[in-house]
Amino acid sequence: MVVVMRLDASEVQISLVNEVLTSHGFGAHLIKGTNRIVIGAVGEERQLLSELGLEGMAGVEKVVPIMKPYKLVSREAHAQSTVIQVKDAAIGGQDIILIAGPCAIESYDQVLSAAQRCRAAGATVLRGGAYKPRTSPYSFQGMEKKGLEILQQVGKETGLATVTEVIDYESLQEASNYVDIVQIGARNMQNFRLLQAVGQSKKPVILKRGLSATIEEWLMAAEYIMASGNLQVILCERGIRTFETYTRNTLDLSAVPLIKELTHLPILIDPSHATGSARLVGSMSKAAIAAGADGLLIEVHPNPCKALCDGPQSLDPDAFAYLSKQLQRVASAVDRGFPTVTTAEL
Amino acid sequence: MVVVMRLDASEVQISLVNEVLTSHGFGAHLIKGTNRIVIGAVGEERQLLSELGLEGMAGVEKVVPIMKPYKLVSREAHAQSTVIQVKDAAIGGQDIILIAGPCAIESYDQVLSAAQRCRAAGATVLRGGAYKPRTSPYSFQGMEKKGLEILQQVGKETGLATVTEVIDYESLQEASNYVDIVQIGARNMQNFRLLQAVGQSKKPVILKRGLSATIEEWLMAAEYIMASGNLQVILCERGIRTFETYTRNTLDLSAVPLIKELTHLPILIDPSHATGSARLVGSMSKAAIAAGADGLLIEVHPNPCKALCDGPQSLDPDAFAYLSKQLQRVASAVDRGFPTVTTAEL
Amino acid sequence: MVVVMRLDASEVQISLVNEVLTSHGFGAHLIKGTNRIVIGAVGEERQLLSELGLEGMAGVEKVVPIMKPYKLVSREAHAQSTVIQVKDAAIGGQDIILIAGPCAIESYDQVLSAAQRCRAAGATVLRGGAYKPRTSPYSFQGMEKKGLEILQQVGKETGLATVTEVIDYESLQEASNYVDIVQIGARNMQNFRLLQAVGQSKKPVILKRGLSATIEEWLMAAEYIMASGNLQVILCERGIRTFETYTRNTLDLSAVPLIKELTHLPILIDPSHATGSARLVGSMSKAAIAAGADGLLIEVHPNPCKALCDGPQSLDPDAFAYLSKQLQRVASAVDRGFPTVTTAEL
Amino acid sequence: MVVVMRLDASEVQISLVNEVLTSHGFGAHLIKGTNRIVIGAVGEERQLLSELGLEGMAGVEKVVPIMKPYKLVSREAHAQSTVIQVKDAAIGGQDIILIAGPCAIESYDQVLSAAQRCRAAGATVLRGGAYKPRTSPYSFQGMEKKGLEILQQVGKETGLATVTEVIDYESLQEASNYVDIVQIGARNMQNFRLLQAVGQSKKPVILKRGLSATIEEWLMAAEYIMASGNLQVILCERGIRTFETYTRNTLDLSAVPLIKELTHLPILIDPSHATGSARLVGSMSKAAIAAGADGLLIEVHPNPCKALCDGPQSLDPDAFAYLSKQLQRVASAVDRGFPTVTTAEL
């Protein structure tokens, strides 16, 4: 790290900082500027930085970290891209992965209907919420275990892999018996206990970016999971909060090439939650693939107007099938493959 | 609510919306504008709005809710301000409440030293973290149960009430045996399971505003707790995330008069986390009281430079005692009382 | 508009609001809810809303506008997409438009070199800054008139149309003699005097979105130009300010389909300023075209490391040529054309 | 500055960076970390940093400036606080300055009525807008020269100093003949031409912070004015844009102690624009003074409901007089003086 001393820092203050650094095993290099002293400190800053208390010391103006705070998620440490195989889906590989299904599981018929149509259109993973973290205590909160059973059943019947969101230790334990992938939602991105619990599970996990999380915080959340033992982390950007009110959130697509540069993990885009509007999902899906995303999470509901949750942002199955064909062309234009479906399979 | 139809909405689309509204018990009033139809819908929108799916219906441009989505927290429903009594502290009453102590509990000596000095300076509640939700998995994570024992012990010896943050169901159960108040941190403000669990407990709870939560979402989180049965909710603003980088967060003091207008609940300010800098804590504490806050959460550490967590934003006990005297003058200028300490008591 | 009265609004307060509305020519429709009165007001709210002072009246809780505040830019008023022809470039038409060139004009050789290479790679408009609005008074401020002469000269030699940013009335007058298109930069998006001056000119204008402008404010700025008489407005999104620090700004690509829905005007994307990093320009350019943008503004410098301004975000000509070929494939995948260049032309 | 090289930077890349630095007169100090090279560069980075192009060079990961980019506004360069004397008002001195008056000048009677009442309540400067930068081209745009004449006339009759906003070169020239202080509004904070023009004038200037300006950018705007020759700069915070929608903007009061630490310039707060609501102005005014602000800009209108501009946020004269008495008590609690008015004077 680099410690910038104040213009008026005294000799004593400078040597106290020096002492703290060397006593913690850092090599300290003093650079005398025209007006001020800057100290370059060489050592294991990742673990010690927050405990040195340098920023609170007299004479210190600021401390600039040099090392990135994450390690396991970093491409510097792991040059090859991670590919996570779940049934037919190789997430992070050459092919674009489509994860589709309703926001909330409402009934067996609803999920089956959505699943069959999504599969026919190229989806390889079925999504469906059993535990719904809702802003209002008066909104529908999910079917819980009953919903998981439906999801598992439909997964078996259609051959689709399945994913559902978990919201605490109990739901994680329960869901792990039914689904192929678990998801940590945006509001739980810094629920560190849940991250650790997921880290101790064997399930692949989709980690959504928090509503106002920086990319660095998001990667630190992934680091929590990996540091706890689970290396199968899939990142998913779903829009960040800004001052704009015409869209629900602002989809940060520049996160895609950045994540590809900084980490070896797969990255998905959720255009449904990001925009909050079915009318914008198509354009943003195409843009996501052109930007280099490994796949998409798209809400598809057999009858969006009757959805118990997030209807306005859901596509109906026809719209999804139409979009899928367009996505195939964009994928091809950026040298990515696309799941193909033969009638025989269906 | 008000449903604004698109300019080109057809008669059929309008009557379908009408039908949905009336079939759910709403009275629907059509207003014909110069170019467009607007439907005023009268009824229990709080529970039904998200399930009607109106925004996804053909011909609908937007839906504007009229009722506030919260009820129990609202001053409309409960005109008198809520006062929560915890030992000597009447939070939300006439007197300003000072809650002080270290960010993380590190040892009995550390906490006792901080507590004695804070009490002598006018604090009536002792804070100290036993479970630390840290951004990095490589940072100090808290002493957990051992920390709770220290906090309880020091609370007994000094007569101070105690508060600690809980981060999941287990820590809530454990902490409830040791402390007088539990706290939900900013990152867990929308951990709805935790909100419900706290709602079922009997402990007063400090609910911190999320990093990027709107005031409405914050009040909905409080509504979750109250709807689950716990009416002893204390709100605490601790800075929101903006583009500004000179401060850790941006303290939103206008939340104070707004909360007083919208709700009957007490509101505290945490200037330490909001600014991230001990040098700004004094000014922001004075401002908070002048704005009408019911109290302050201030980090005080016997030796800020050696703090295992958040040293740069901690005051040392002398600085806290000096500040407390200044706060007393500001409190008096806005007709608020202030805890007084007689030497005999100590 | 809809006027929501407070729960405790008196009969007198309600009739006073009613009176204000009717005396200004609005039809006022009272809707009695279970607890409160809502007034639907039908009339020309666009011009009168801010002058009625309703929000300040006793008993009024809030006023919800129904009409969009803009008119001339709106697709409701002008269903057909506007195409602006500038030399070979039909901006807003079937073909993707590439506008390329250096951030700042530094010399004839620099601009000519960039222009020839950009043209060969498919660009039809040459950009170059003569007046540079720089954050620091100590940074290079642009070559002004001398720069305009270079731009004009290179435009003639290469057959490219030209665009430059104007920053006040004088620079607008001067630049109008030299270039084909003028540009209003993000920092001047709400410089209303400049908007009016550009509105009185005959030049096509690129209007960049302000750093923290909502889409509505951006469209209101376009409305200023159109209301002053100039209908040739081209919108350009160039990143908005968020809390994210890994990128210079956050590119809001969802603005593309939204702008297409709300207005009839062409929309461009500037990935160079949005990301601040040449490494991200390629991905974001492909994403922009996939999202439906009509064209791109890309910084190209013959030698980015020696650029006097914004070097880190500039592509070198080889990288631009390579990118252009990739963009052609994406354009084709979304049924858009792409300028083709024959060797004979060069 | 500090140049952080990439992990995989080659020897050649490192020596090229070294060469660029030394050829521009920087002393370059290489620090070898465990994995990477960091270069500490000593020299005049303020003028050269943006021209070196280091961030675009191969092998460079990031460049961290050490010096603050501003100089003339900095307290490091000018330890003593600047006090700007305008008639009876010593802005930045011991006394709190109240600047009050209507948002827009509408008539002689309106301004005189507001001025007399404001003066009686302790205001020493009269504000009134003659040029109104309005978001909509269809809103009232100000009385311009006629308004300036009214302002000057009322200033003479009441003995109040006067301030008005200028929006371009012409309005600056015109206003300079009529008022004592000119103001640069939030939307023009980075209108660099206007900053330079004001820098060449002799008038004291109030520089409002831009809607989404960082404190550093705001200070750079002040640096523009001072670097152009005008040292009489008064800063004014008026709320920044966030995701919160219950208030018009979010008042950033932590800017007050920060500005006092970083600069020697006076700082005012505008609670009217920051909150957009008269009901919040009182609390935020008290908080501003407690935080250490040198004064307040408050909108006062003889009849807020009939204001042509920003009525909902204006106080009526009675409310202002009542607030002024409360502010006096808060000022006294933080050892600040307050203008006193004797009946004889009026």
Q: Please give the pLDDT value at position D344.
A: 43
The three-class DSSP label of residue B127 is: strand
Q: Could you tell me which chain B residue has the CA closest to the CA of A314?
A: B56
- Domains belonging to chain C, first-starting first, are 2-64 (3.30.70.1140), 84-345 (3.20.20.70)
Average pLDDT over residues A161-181: 97
**Residue D314 class from Cβ within 10 Å (0-12 exposed, 13-18 middle, 19+ buried)?**
buried
Note the pLDDT tens digit of each residue in C63-85. 888 888 899 999 988 999 999 99
Render C37-91 in DSSP notation, one character per residue. EEEEEES-HHHHHHHH-GGGSTTEEEEE--S-S--TTBTTT--SPP-EEETTEEE
Q: Please state, in angstroms and as integers, the Cα–Cα distance from residue B155 to each residue in A124, B126, B180, following that order.
A: 57, 7, 9
Nearest to A284 among C215, C250, C253 (CB): C253
Say whether A33 and D66 touch across the interface (CB within 8 A): yes
Note the pLDDT tens digit of each residue in C88-121. 899 999 999 999 999 999 999 999 999 999 999 9
* Confidence at C341, pLDDT banded by 50, 70, 90: low
Min distance A241 CA to chain D CA atoms (Å): 7
Tokens (6 digits) for D122 = 């302790």
Tokens (6 digits) for A35 = 């007006």
* Contact predicate C2/C25, CB 8 Å: no
Going by the DSSP 8-state scheme, the letter that residue C345 receives in this structure is: G
Alpha helices in chain D (DSSP H): 11-23, 45-52, 108-120, 145-158, 169-176, 192-200, 215-227, 255-262, 271-275, 278-291, 317-333
Q: D174 contacts in C (CB within 8 Å)? A: none
Tokens (6 digits) for B116 = 């004695």
Residues above pLDDT 90, as percent of chain A? 69
Average pLDDT in chain C: 92
Rounded mean pLDDT for each run of 10 residues along chain D, 346 residues in total: 87 90 88 84 76 80 86 92 96 97 94 96 96 85 95 97 96 97 97 96 96 96 96 97 93 98 97 93 98 97 76 88 97 92 50
Q: Please give the pLDDT value at position B343.
A: 47
HSE on the CB side for B151, CA within 13 Å?
35
Neighbours of chain D (3+ CB pairs under 8 A): A, B, C
Nearest to D241 among C191, C212, C224 (CB): C212
Q: Which is nearest to B42 in space by CA: B59, B56, B55, B30?
A: B30
Say whether C66 and B36 touch across the interface (CB within 8 A): yes
φ and ψ of A323, to 5 deg: -60, -40
Q: A66 contacts in D (CB within 8 Å)? A: 4, 33, 36, 38
Dist. CA A163–CA C344, nearest whole Å: 56
Nearest to A217 among B50, B135, B307 (CB): B135
Q: Which residue has the higher pLDDT, A65 or C269?
A: C269
* Contact predicate D198/D227, CB 8 Å: no
The CB density around residue C177, as the number of other CB atoms within 10 Å, is 10
Q: B252 contacts in D (CB within 8 Å)? A: 242, 244, 250-251
* Confidence at A35, pLDDT banded by 50, 70, 90: confident
Cite the beta strand spans of chain A per DSSP E: 2-5, 27-32, 37-42, 60-64, 84-86, 89-91, 97-101, 125-127, 161-166, 181-184, 205-208, 233-237, 267-269, 295-299
Neighbours of chain B (3+ CB pairs under 8 A): A, C, D
Q: At what angle do helices D169-176 and C169-176 cross, to 10 degrees?
A: 140
Dist. CA C28–CA C41, nearest whole Å: 5
Note the pLDDT tens digit of each residue in C209-235. 999 999 999 999 999 999 999 999 999
Dist. CA A225–CA A192, nearest whole Å: 9
Which 3-state string (H, E, C) describes C118-184? HHHCCCCEEECECCCCCCCCCCCCCCCHHHHHHHHHHHHHHCCEEEEEECCHHHHHHHHCCCCEEEE
Q: Please give the pLDDT value at position D345.
A: 47
Tokens (6 digits) for D331 = 């000022």
Dist. CA B295–CA B206, nearest whole Å: 12
Q: Which is nearest to B334 in space by CA: D87, D334, A179, C190?
A: D334
Neighbours of chain C (3+ CB pairs under 8 A): A, B, D
* Contact predicate D195/C198, CB 8 Å: no
Nearest to D257 among B252, B257, B283 (CB): B283
Note the pLDDT tens digit of each residue in D289-336. 999 999 999 999 988 777 777 667 889 999 999 999 999 999 999 999
**Residue C108 class from Cβ within 10 Å (0-12 exposed, 13-18 middle, 19+ buried)?**
middle
Q: Give the position of tokens 């200044």.
A: B326
CA dihedral in degrees (D168, D169, D170, D176; nearest 10)? 100
Q: Beta strand pairing status for D27-32 and D37-42?
A: antiparallel
Say whether C212 and D217 touch across the interface (CB within 8 A): no
The three-class DSSP label of residue B166 is: strand
The answer on pLDDT for C305 being more than 90 is: no
Q: Beta strand pairing status for C267-269 and C233-237?
A: parallel
The CB density around residue C166, as the number of other CB atoms within 10 Å, is 26
Say whether C244 and A215 touch across the interface (CB within 8 A): yes
* Contact predicate C300/C323, CB 8 Å: no
Min distance D32 CA to chain A CA atoms (Å): 8
Q: Please give the pLDDT value at position A318.
A: 95
Q: Which residue has the higher pLDDT, A49 or D281?
A: D281
Q: Which residue has the higher pLDDT, A121 or B311?
A: A121
Nearest to C193 among D167, D223, D309 (CB): D167
Q: Which is nearest to A235 in space by CA: A105, A75, A108?
A: A75
Q: D53 contacts in C (CB within 8 Å)? A: 304-307, 311-312
Nearest to D223 among C51, C69, C137 (CB): C137
The answer on pLDDT for C137 being more than 90 is: no
φ and ψ of A41, to 5 deg: -115, 125
Q: How many CB pairs under 8 A join B and C?
A: 46
Q: Please give the pLDDT value at position A222.
A: 98
Q: Please state, in angstroms and as integers, the Cα–Cα distance from residue B235 to each residue in B210, B221, B293, B296, C273, following that order.
A: 11, 10, 10, 11, 40
CA gyration radius for chain A? Answer: 23
Q: Please give the pLDDT value at position D153.
A: 98
Q: Which residues pair with B326 in a beta bridge?
A: none
Q: Which residues pair with B68 in a beta bridge?
A: none
The answer on pLDDT for C346 being more than 60 is: no
Instruction: Show pLDDT as tens, one digit a residue, over chain B (346 residues).
Output: 888 888 888 999 899 889 888 988 888 888 887 778 889 888 877 767 767 778 878 888 888 888 888 999 999 889 999 999 999 899 999 999 999 999 999 999 999 999 999 999 999 999 999 998 888 888 888 999 999 999 999 999 999 999 999 999 999 999 999 999 999 999 999 999 999 999 999 899 999 999 999 999 999 999 999 999 999 999 999 999 999 999 999 999 999 999 999 999 999 999 999 999 899 999 999 999 999 999 999 999 988 777 777 667 889 999 999 999 999 999 999 999 998 765 444 4
ipTM exceeding 0.90?
yes
If phi over 0 gives left and psi between -120 and 50 gives alpha, with beta otherwise, what is residue D54? alpha
Say whether C191 and D192 touch across the interface (CB within 8 A): no
